Amino acid sequence: MAHIYTHGTGVELDPYQIWTWEDFVGMGDYTGVFYKLMQNLNAQNIDHYADPDNYTAWTADEGFPLIAEFVDNVLDGDSKTISNFSLNRPDEDLVAPIQYMYKVSADTKIHDLTISGAFVSTYGYGSPLIAFAYQPCVLENITITGCTVEGGNRMAGLIGQTEWYPDDPAGFIDITNCHVVNMNVEGAGFGGLVYLGETCRIYQCSVEADIVLVEPTIGTVGYVGGMIAECYNSNSAEQCFVDMSVTDAALEAGAVCIGGIYGYAGVSLSANVASTILDCYVFAQLANAPLGGGLIGEGLSAGQTEPSSVATSSYSANTVTAQTDYNGAVGTPFKAGQAVKCYYNSNLVTPTADDGSLPLTSAEMHVQANFTDWDFDTVWGIDPLYQNGWPYLQWQHTPEPIDPKLLIRYRNDGKPNWSNYREVSLGKLGDTEIFKRISGLGSYRNRQYEIVCTAGVPLTITGLEENVNLGGTRGE
């Protein structure tokens, strides 16, 4: 029997209202409707259940019933948080609150939602939100924070797997302003946002994760990618960053290939469209002889010639312990031209092969002029007071506005030293008010006055008397 919502009619202007965990799970009973989260839902709070028996059952190891399908629906998280649930199903794959998300005839979207403190155990394609998504879908303004995923070789921070949908070849899975923060991972393969990705457009997203690689209980060793672990067909990552640590706990099944953005970036025969990286950066600490590259772990699939994935205007500053086969941007195998205007930290990595990326020392990476033809007007920034002077993306940080000061100082005739008279903020005063502050200076005899402006801001004051020296610039 379908869940009955007590508030709302399911249309855009009157969405079904989610007040309880039963309301949340009930999203799987309808298609083509709108939902809105009305309050934070904490799985450990019995008051957030309509039926106390469900609190007892759904907080046991396996957790609440999974939402089998989210089809043609829209969920507005309304900046609320879903927290502290556990989905402990290590013998199952596709373990996530929503198993399948896809569009048939109407927009399918989840936005403005936070998932916090969740635990997910699976052997494949599990995450704290979605297990499997077909394009076209939209995920926007989503934060996954303080969550743990473990057990499998194909796990992710946001979506376990995405897939190209032949009925809508022009569609994409748009992932915008989504952030994975303080993620803890234990398994044999992990994608920061997506494990296996096709047709994902990732824009202004970030991942911060601590990953411990262990033997998979089922299957083989996977890949690790800061955004996508296994990247196939027409994915893009633009203006994204990754900060991760990866520890290889002596995998017997073989070394894991690690890429800062994509773990593997080949193509498949179904579409044969390469993927791109533009304006991204990576900080990573990689232990125990990893394979891979600063941005892409493996650049090509076996026997691949064209097309090939390309990284442009991006950098990696990765610390690699016991390096074996590891390159500055693109790991082996690769081909010429896959790294364009990309840089790596030469203090931390000595590439095994020349993949076309360019070396910069730590000090050189703090100098804007060293990043040739990068867009520091609208995309990149460098601020010695932010991120220890490393280049950052402008969407991350807005520098504090400069508040220049107008300093009036004087000295008596024949005296060498200046004394401060008054300081005012130019950001708070217009020309008329500044004129009032200094118009009485001429009443003092045998004094010289100088008006200087801090921070190199040009100074023009209308109506200023000519007998006041403006440090070489006279008022008009």
Q: How confident is the model at residue 92 (pLDDT cuts 50, 70, 90)?
A: very high
pLDDT at 298 over 70: yes
Mean pLDDT of 145-160: 93
β strands within 45-108, DSSP E:
67-71, 74-83, 86-88, 98-102
User: Hunting for tokens 């394009």 — which residue is that?
Assistant: 135
Q: Are 57 and 65 contacting, i.e. CB atoms less than 8 angstroms apart?
A: no
Phi, psi for 41 (deg, rounded to 5): -115, 120
Question: Does 459 have pLDDT greater than 80?
Answer: no
What long-range pairs does 11-17 form, CB within 8 A, spacing at least 24?
12/74, 15/74, 15/76
The region of weakest confidence among 134-148, 413-427, 447-461 is 447-461
Query: For the segment 164-173, what is each residue's pLDDT rounded down to a tens digit?
Result: 765 565 678 9
**The two structure tokens encoding residue 371:** 């990043």
Residue 165: other Cβ atoms inside 10 A? 18
Q: Is the pLDDT assigned to residue 417 strictly greater than 90?
A: no
Judged on CB neighbours under 10 Å (0-12, 13-18, 19+), 421 is: middle
| CA angle (163 as vertex; 230, 131 as ends), nearest 5 | 80
What are the backbone angles phi and psi of residue 204, rounded to the nearest 5°? 50, 55
Name the helix (H) or strand (E) containing 203. strand 200-203
What count of Cα atoms within 13 Å lies in the side-chain half-sphere of residue 236?
Answer: 14
Q: Report the helix count and the strand count for the chain, using DSSP H and E.
A: 3, 41
Angle at 262 between CA 120 and CA 361, to 5 degrees: 120
Count of all residues that appear for the chain in the document: 476
What are the structural domains, with CATH classification, of the chain? 16-396 (2.160.20.110), 401-476 (3.10.20)
Cα gap 155→96, rounded to integer Å: 10
Q: What is the mean pLDDT of the chain?
A: 84
Q: What's this model's pTM, rounded to 2 decimal places?
A: 0.84
